[in-house]
Structure 1
Amino acid sequence: MGVLRFDAARIRPDYFAVHGYKWLLCPRGAAWLVTRPDRLSELKPLVPGWKSTNPPYQYFGGPANLAQDARRGDASPAWFSWIGAKAALELLTSLDADQVERHCLELAGQLTGQARAIGLRRVTDGPGSHIVVLHTDKADHVALRLREHGVRATALSDRIRFGFHYFNEEPDVVATMRVLRGGR
């Protein structure tokens, strides 16, 4: 969500849970659960809140008369996270989703191809993604060098992970490759 297009109407998931803190650019604490209407009765909140019940919303413990709609899963939101989430989602929905996906996949493809040319390979041969994970025997060392040059990546055992978003640009790939080639 936020980079690759997702057609919920075509896929029709029973439940769709998403956090906003990474690719949706929201602060931590913003998350959503979307449920098909025919699956609502299966939702059982672990800790019902006062808005999880039917009106007059007077639940303060004990057996709950849960609402029959999605309110049954309501919880008190992390208020400050939602202020940031609103701004982030307004920004993301103002962008052309096809262009965002194309841009991010193109940058990831450039990094993948250039890394392959110097002997680094993707960990998986799956479909293209905005996330590039490269195999290296020196992941911690590579991540440290990248960080020293202002490039953010994550070291994971024998892998180095990069993620592209719409705010990334071609100079980010150039800077990354300069470090991976051993330059300054």
Structure 2
Amino acid sequence: MPPTTSSALAVHDRFAAGSGYLAACTQGLPTRETVAATRTDLENWSSGEASPLDYDAAIDRSRDAFSRIAGVDVDAIAIGSQVSVLASLAAGSAPDGARVLCVEGDFASVVAPFHAQAHRGVTVREAPLAELADAVDDETWLVAFSVVQSATGEHADIEAILAACARTGALSFADLTQALGWLPVDASRFDLTVTHAYKWLCAPRGSAFLTVREGIRDALLPLHAGWFAGEDPWASCYGPLAAPARSARRFDVSPAWPVWPGTAAALEFFAALDLAAVHAHDTALGDRFAEALGLDARGRAIHTWPDPDGADLAALTAAGLRASGRAGRARVAFHVWNTEDDVDRAVAALGR
């Protein structure tokens, strides 16, 4: 087996739970700071002391921390609540008759918004992940794909896809939800990215991020523009926006306030980590698991294998482990709170 890793990057005590939790790809665990921030906000709300200006500060902190994690300028980031909502901005901006290329079996929130534009003649082609770059042609307007596939844990060939987009002029639209937080990704390399932060970034569900390359911001329609998309949101509460934000904030969706204090704490935690060390830790555990099960996959934090009757998932659950199942496959994920003991318990539960 691979060499043992350090004990969860010495951050295990930042989580109230963690031992036996192999489901970061389903829902991350909150740090103690995220729990505290969320409780404080609830107490402030219940006592009538919650202030919108406090939420503005939490959103600013979140945007700043996300910029450091994703490698983009703060001005390139818009906030929202769900991947599907942010993806619909790209889909709604597609020209009539545009051709979009997606991955077979990709997460519905990445694909469905483009299919919903069929009434305007927008057509969606699908290709297997391994063949996606070869499927990009001169008629492709945009390529939409998850960098890490939710159902299988497979990785997209980013270099090949971006090269194909550069060759044909197609836009690149990447979902980073199953990547950011454990896999270092430079979001500035893509025209558009979306990330829901409640998985590997361990934020409360309901905080999501869109990054938009500066050169295409004027071509993207602010379909969900409301008061928060103004250059000065508190001067944009009534009537049309006299002055939309000059930055990507013009695409902001009005925030669900209670999720943002916890999101700020979560993202600041990850922004302060050495993400290369996180990647090394998570993949070392993943490789240890893959080797024990004979899986032909290395360098992954997510591992899946056929489990059509759910027997393996049931065995993991019976052993007190939290895993998941998707698309007829059992699925485990390894993150900063996991240790070699979690790997060994999973292997033993599966009888390997």
* TM-score, length-scaled by structure 1: 0.82
Match of 1:82 among 231, 238, 260: 260
Q: 1:31 to 1:137 in 2, by over 3 A?
A: closer
From the superposition, tell whether residues 54 and 84 of structure 1 become closer, same or farther in structure 2 (CA, over 3 Å): closer
Gaps of 5+ in 2: 1-179
Q: Which structure exhibits the higher relative contact order, with contacts defined as CA atoms closer than 8 Å and separated by 6 or more residues?
A: 2
Contact 2:236–2:242 under 8 Å retained in 1: no
Taking structure 2 as the reference length, what is the TM-score of the superposition?
0.45
CA–CA separation in structure 1 for the residues paired with 2:219 and 2:253: 17
Q: Distance in 2 between matches of 1:64 and 1:80?
A: 28
Aligned to 1:173: 343
* Structure in which a larger fraction of residues adopt helix: 2
Write out aligned runs for 1:105-144 (5 A).
105-116=283-294, 121=295, 128-138=299-309, 140-144=310-314
Distance 1:132 1:162, change over 3 A: same
Residues 1:15 and 2:222 are matched in the alignment: no
2:321 matches 1:145: no
Secondary structure of the 2:305 match is strand
- Tell me the secondary structure at the aligned position of residue 174 of structure 1: helix
1:99 corresponds in structure 2 to: 277
Aligned to 2:216: 39
Contact 1:49–1:60 (Cα < 8 Å) also in 2:
no
Q: In the alignment, is the contact (CA less than 8 A) between 2:304 and 2:329 conserved in 1?
A: yes
Cα distance in 2, alignment partners of residues 52 and 151 from structure 1: 43
Q: Distance in 2 between matches of 1:178 and 1:72?
A: 51
Counterpart of 1:29, as a letter, is: G
**Counterpart residue number, 1:155:** 325
1:3 corresponding residue in structure 2 = 182
* Count of aligned positions: 172
Contact 1:43 1:72 in 2 (8 A): no
Q: CA deviation at 1:175?
A: 0.7
* Aligned partner letter, 2:337: F
Q: 1:92 to 1:65 in 2, by over 3 A?
A: closer
Over aligned residues, Cα RMSD in angstroms?
2.3
Gaps of 5+ in 1: none
User: Where does residue 51 of structure 2 map in the other structure?
Assistant: none
**Helix, strand or coil at the partner of 2:229:** coil
One-letter identity of the residue aligned with 1:86: A
Are the aligned partners of 1:48 and 1:64 in contact in 2 as well (CA < 8 Å)? no
Following superposition, the deviation at residue 152 of structure 1 comes to 1.6
Contact 2:222 2:250 in 1 (8 A): yes
